[in-house]
């Protein structure tokens, strides 16, 4: 869907072309977040009965004069390492909570902490020992994991999460909370920022991902902002 959406955003003028969506991917987090049907037949029926398109937020990320878009999330560090490992897995098409969780545990032992600088419209933050930074637009990623329970794809905000270096015990504590109480963002090593735009500098080479697509390992100087697009949902 990202490539289609990028093409539409590049060519649109005053009359955007609404985009319909049938969830045939491996994770289908976009459909889960919006409570859309997950089967082909039900998806077609839902599209045909929709009278008016719905305007949704789209995250845009610009680096080195190149822009990518995401409807779910864009992340670096542990998130990107997970996608790199899943990409090497012969069963990578079967991505759900269990496989993603196992990949998180595997990636934890490979991922080194890294420094980053976050500049929002109001303040600048520096984190010296980061494992993960992810900009989310929807509640779910990784095949149904509720990374940010309050994320709303139509509220005009990016929900950015930064995870500092944790011990293996702290990681298990966070994951347990994520899958049970959904209060993981209250952990002292997790930081949440609700923003409309930001600049992000990642000083050491890291893998990244956008809506499950791998971003090559590199240092990154990034600018994030929101745009909108109509969807038949």
In the chain, where are the structural domains located? Answer: 2-232
In the chain, what is the straight-line distance between the N-terminal and C-terminal CA atoms, in Å?
Answer: 14
Calculate the CA dihedral of residues 174, 178, 183, 187 and round it to 10 degrees: 20
Among 220, 217, 219, 213, smallest CA distance to 87 is for 213
**Measured between alpha carbons, how far is 231 from 47 in angstroms, rounded to an integer?**
10
Whole-prediction pTM: 0.91
Among 170, 99, 100, 159, smallest CA distance to 129 is for 170
CA distances from 86 to 68, 95, 118, 130, 184 (A): 21, 8, 28, 21, 24
* 143-198 pLDDT tens trace: 788 899 999 999 999 999 999 999 999 999 999 999 899 999 999 999 999 999 99
| Architecture (CATH level 2) of domain 2-232 | Sandwich (2.60)
* 126-151 pLDDT tens trace: 999 999 999 999 998 877 888 999 99
């Amino acid at each position: 869907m990202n490539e289609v959406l990028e093409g539409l955003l590049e060519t649109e003028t005053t009359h955007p072309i609404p985009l319909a969506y049938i969830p045939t991917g491996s994770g289908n987090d976009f459909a889960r977040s919006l409570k859309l049907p997950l089967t082909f037949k039900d998806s077609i029926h839902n599209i045909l009965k929709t009278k008016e398109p719905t305007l949704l937020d789209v995250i845009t990320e610009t680096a080195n004069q190149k822009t990518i878009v995401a409807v779910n999330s864009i992340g670096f560090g542990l998130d990107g390492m997970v996608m790199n490992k899943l990409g090497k897995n012969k069963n990578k098409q079967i991505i759900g909570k269990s496989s993603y969780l196992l990949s998180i545990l595997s990636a934890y032992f490979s991922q080194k902490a890294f420094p980053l600088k976050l500049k929002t419209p109001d303040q600048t933050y520096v984190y010296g020992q980061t494992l993960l930074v992810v900009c989310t637009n929807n509640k779910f990623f990784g095949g149904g994991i509720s990374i940010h329970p309050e994320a709303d794809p139509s509220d005009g905000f990016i929900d950015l999460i930064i995870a500092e270096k944790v011990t293996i015990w702290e990681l298990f504590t966070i994951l347990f909370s994520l899958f049970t109480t959904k209060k993981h963002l209250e952990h002292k090593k997790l930081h949440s920022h609700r923003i409309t735009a930001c600049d992000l500098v990642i000083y050491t080479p890291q893998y990244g991902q956008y809506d499950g697509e791998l971003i090559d390992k590199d240092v990154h100087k990034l600018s994030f902002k929101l745009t909108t697009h109509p969807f038949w949902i």
